[in-house]
Structure 1
Amino acid sequence: MEPVCGSTGNYTAKSTYESNLLALLPSLASNGSNQGFYKDTTGRVPDQVYALILCRGDTNTSACRNCLDLARQDALQLCPYNKAATIWYDNCLLRYSNSNFLNSTDNSNVIYMWNTQNVTDDLDKFNKLAGELVNRTSQYAAFNSSRRFGTGEANFTATDPNIYGLAQCTRDLSGDQCYK
Structure 2
Amino acid sequence: MIYSQIVKEDRGSEEMETFHFAIVCFILSALALSSCPCHGITNVNTSLQCSEADGSATENAFQTNLENLLDTLVVKVPVSNGFYKTETGKKSDKLYGLVQCRGDMSATDCANCTKNAVAAALKECPKSKQVCAWFTWCFLRYSNQNVFGIMDETSVAITNNTDFDDPSVVSKGIYFMGGLASTAPNQPHMFQKAVLDVGQSGKRYGMAQCTLDINRADCGKCLDSQLALFRTIIGNKRGWETYGSSCFMWYHDYLFYFNISPPASEGEFRA
TM-score, normalising length: structure 2: 0.60
1:63 aligns with 2:109: yes
Contact 2:176 2:196 in 1 (8 A): yes
Q: Which residue is 1:18 aligned to? A: 63
- Where structure 2 has 5 or more consecutive residues not aligned to the other structure, the ranges are 1-45, 222-271
Instruction: Tell me the distance in 2 between the aligned counterparts of 1:5 and 1:97.
Output: 10
1:173 aligns with 2:220: no
Question: 1:102–1:9: structure 2 CA closer, same or farther, 3 Å change rule?
Answer: farther
**Per-residue deviation, 1:174:** 1.6
The 5 A counterparts of 1:3-42 are: 3-7=48-52, 9=54, 11-34=56-79, 35-42=81-88
Q: Percent of pairs identical after alignment? A: 29
SS of aligned partner of 2:150: coil
Select the residue among 157, 171, 175 that pairs with 1:128.
Answer: 171
SS of aligned partner of 1:94: strand
Question: 1:131–1:153: structure 2 CA closer, same or farther, 3 Å change rule?
Answer: same
Contact 2:181 2:220 in 1 (8 A): yes
Q: Can you list the C-alpha shifts for 1:89-120, whole angstroms capped at 9, x where unaligned?
A: 11111100112110110011x13233555225
The 5 A counterparts of 1:36-55 are: 36-55=82-101
Instruction: Tell me the distance in 2 between the aligned counterparts of 1:40 and 1:120.
Output: 42
Query: What is the root-mean-square deviation of aligned Cα atoms in Å?
Result: 2.0
**Per-residue deviation, 1:32:** 1.3
Instruction: Tell me the distance in 1 between the aligned counterparts of 2:118 and 2:141.
Output: 9
Contact 2:96 2:145 in 1 (8 A): yes
Contact 1:8 1:98 in 2 (8 A): no
Size of the alignment, in residue pairs?
A: 175
Q: Which residue is 2:148 aligned to? A: 102
Q: Which residue is 1:118 aligned to? A: 163
SS of aligned partner of 2:142: strand
TM-score, normalising length: structure 1: 0.87
1:155 aligns with 2:197: yes
Instruction: Tell me the distance in 2 between the aligned counterparts of 1:136 and 1:10.
Output: 46
Contact 2:57 2:129 in 1 (8 A): no
Residue identity in the other structure for 2:173: A
Contact 2:131 2:141 in 1 (8 A): yes
Q: Can you list the C-alpha shifts for 1:32-67, whole angstroms capped at 9, x where unaligned?
A: 112100001111232211100011101000000000
